């Protein structure tokens, strides 16, 4: 039976689509709390944290460290109690920045709903599969948002995020997505030089996140299958979207930014080759995708998570006048056309500095659209590698493709189950199936 303190949480398609279809009716929904216009920096900005793992804790520390901002942690939620305790421990020495009594510490899958009653700005850092539903709930509740990437892992979530992004603009809410390269001065100036035409027209490029591995959390004896998968979320597609979404999205986003476009199609290969046998995992450990952008521009994308060989995490582009590496542009003969000589502050901190400034001074700031299109480009690549087929952007976005169950509880059955050997068979092109293309469920 379900424990009394662990009620089921509903992520209803009907409710989500009803909200998504009501973009013009936002006046009836909660609006953000107005800070005092005379001296907005003196008002307390109440922060809620949903998802208290490593990245959530890091984002919390950064938002509490914004210079000159009167900010306090006032509520926190996580599926697991030890994560809540760990996050609070990490910020306990930040004097005057924490006002989060036990009654505002919410454990369980439904805790996100309660945090929204006690904050002005919410940090969304749960496993990515939850993100579209948490983002929609936060915007409906009138909260400013910092959310980690990726913001979606399937077509349904992408559409939900795009509609919530419209809602955020209507309500003048500020949204930052944790694609921190967008807040790195070296990247910003490189993109500016590309826009000036220093490298000519960009005609191709390569983006990489080739690394050696990722963490794994062993199953505890008393865990249900659902608890194990949420605890070990990086290894399940419905929760992380595979590492092409969870990690490589950073590099794919840079391709979108450089080209000021989204891919029209993707074709690629991938597989599960070297995941450790005693660490069962559903996701691939390598993907290689060719993305086709408007005007026939091709971007070659690679990501891996296994040891051996050269690791590479970067982005390179070719233009009609020269070659682009972030921070350095040369002509075709290797002569420097431009080189970054400035200073890059920590982009993880800059994200929060600029978000607080936008909230307090009512400056336009909404990263949700490019955060969603970058995330969905990664989903497009995953569909290509899983199916072995080329996927068009529009066909993929129109899919009735949803990986998150409508109702979650610790005693519920998750979308994927282990085989008789305790492993999770990876998707294979010969057998991978997905629902057929349908009309978009919202106008």
Q: What is the pLDDT of residue 6?
A: 63
- Whether the predicted model's global pTM rises above the 0.85 cut: yes
> Which residues of the chain are modeled with pLDDT < 50?
1-4, 17-28, 36-39, 436-443
What span, in angstroms and rounded, lies between the C-alpha atoms of 271 and 438? Answer: 28
Distance (Å, whole) CA 143 – CA 65: 20
What pLDDT score was predicted for residue 435?
56
**Paired sense of beta strands 286-292 and 298-305, if any:** antiparallel
Q: Considering only CA atoms, which of 258, 248, 256, 265 is closest in space to residue 301?
A: 248
| Spatial contact of 2 and 424, defined as CB atoms under 8 Å apart | no
Going from the N-terminus, what domains does the chain have, and what CATH number goes with each? 9-181+349-372 (3.40.50.720), 186-341+377-390 (3.30.360.10)
Helix (H) or strand (E) holding 338: strand 336-339
* Residue 205 φ then ψ, to 5°: -175, 170
Give the per-residue pLDDT at 378.
98
What is the structure's pLDDT at 41?
A: 54
Predicted confidence (pLDDT) per residue in 347-403, tens digit:
999 999 999 999 999 999 999 999 999 999 999 999 999 999 999 999 999 999 999
Contact present, 147 and 125 (Cβ < 8 Å)? yes
Q: Return d(Cα 100, Cα 324) in angstroms, integer.
A: 47
């Amino acid at each position: 039976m379900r424990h009394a303190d662990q009620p089921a949480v509903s992520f209803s398609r009907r409710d989500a689509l009803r909200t998504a279809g009501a973009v013009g009716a936002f006046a009836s929904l909660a609006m953000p709390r107005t800070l005092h216009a005379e001296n907005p920096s003196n008002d307390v900005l109440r922060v809620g944290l949903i998802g208290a793992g490593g990245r959530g804790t890091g984002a919390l520390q950064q938002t509490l460290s914004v210079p000159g901002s009167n900010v306090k942690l006032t509520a926190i939620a996580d599926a697991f109690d030890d994560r809540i305790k760990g996050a609070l421990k990490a910020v306990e020495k930040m004097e005057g920045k924490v006002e989060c009594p036990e009654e505002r510490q919410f454990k369980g899958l439904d805790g996100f709903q309660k945090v929204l009653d006690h904050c002005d700005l919410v940090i969304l850092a749960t496993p990515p599969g939850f993100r579209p539903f948490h983002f929609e709930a936060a915007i409906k509740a009138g909260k400013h948002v910092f959310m980690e990437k990726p913001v979606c892992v399937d077509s349904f979530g992408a559409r939900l995020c795009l509609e919530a992004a419209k809602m955020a603009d209507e309500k003048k809410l500020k949204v930052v997505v944790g694609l921190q390269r967008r807040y790195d001065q070296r990247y910003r100036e490189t993109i500016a030089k590309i826009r000036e035409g220093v490298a000519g027209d960009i005609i191709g490029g390569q983006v990489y996140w080739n690394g050696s591995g990722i963490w794994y959390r062993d199953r505890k004896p008393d865990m249900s299958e659902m608890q194990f998968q949420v605890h070990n979320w990086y290894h399940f597609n419905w929760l992380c979207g595979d590492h092409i979404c969870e990690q490589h999205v950073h590099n794919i986003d840079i391709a979108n930014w450089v080209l000021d476009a989204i891919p029209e199609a993707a074709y690629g290969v991938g597989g599960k080759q070297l995941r450790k046998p005693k660490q069962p995992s559903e996701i691939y450990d390598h993907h290689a995708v060719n993305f086709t952008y408007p005007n026939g521009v091709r971007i070659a994308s690679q990501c891996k998570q296994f040891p051996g060989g050269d690791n590479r995490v970067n982005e390179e582009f070719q233009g009609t006048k020269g070659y682009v590496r972030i921070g350095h542009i040369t002509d075709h003969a290797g002569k420097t056309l431009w080189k970054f000589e400035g200073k890059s502050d920590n982009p993880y901190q800059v994200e929060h500095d600029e978000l607080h400034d936008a909230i307090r001074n009512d400056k336009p700031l909404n990263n949700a659209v490019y955060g969603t299109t970058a995330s969905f480009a990664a989903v497009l690549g995953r569909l290509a590698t899983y199916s072995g087929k080329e996927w068009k952007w529009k066909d993929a976005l129109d899919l009735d493709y949803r990986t998150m169950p409508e109702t979650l509880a610790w005693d519920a059955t998750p979308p994927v189950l282990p085989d008789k050997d305790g492993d999770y068979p990876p998707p294979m092109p010969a057998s991978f199936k997905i629902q057929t293309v349908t009309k978009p469920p919202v106008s």
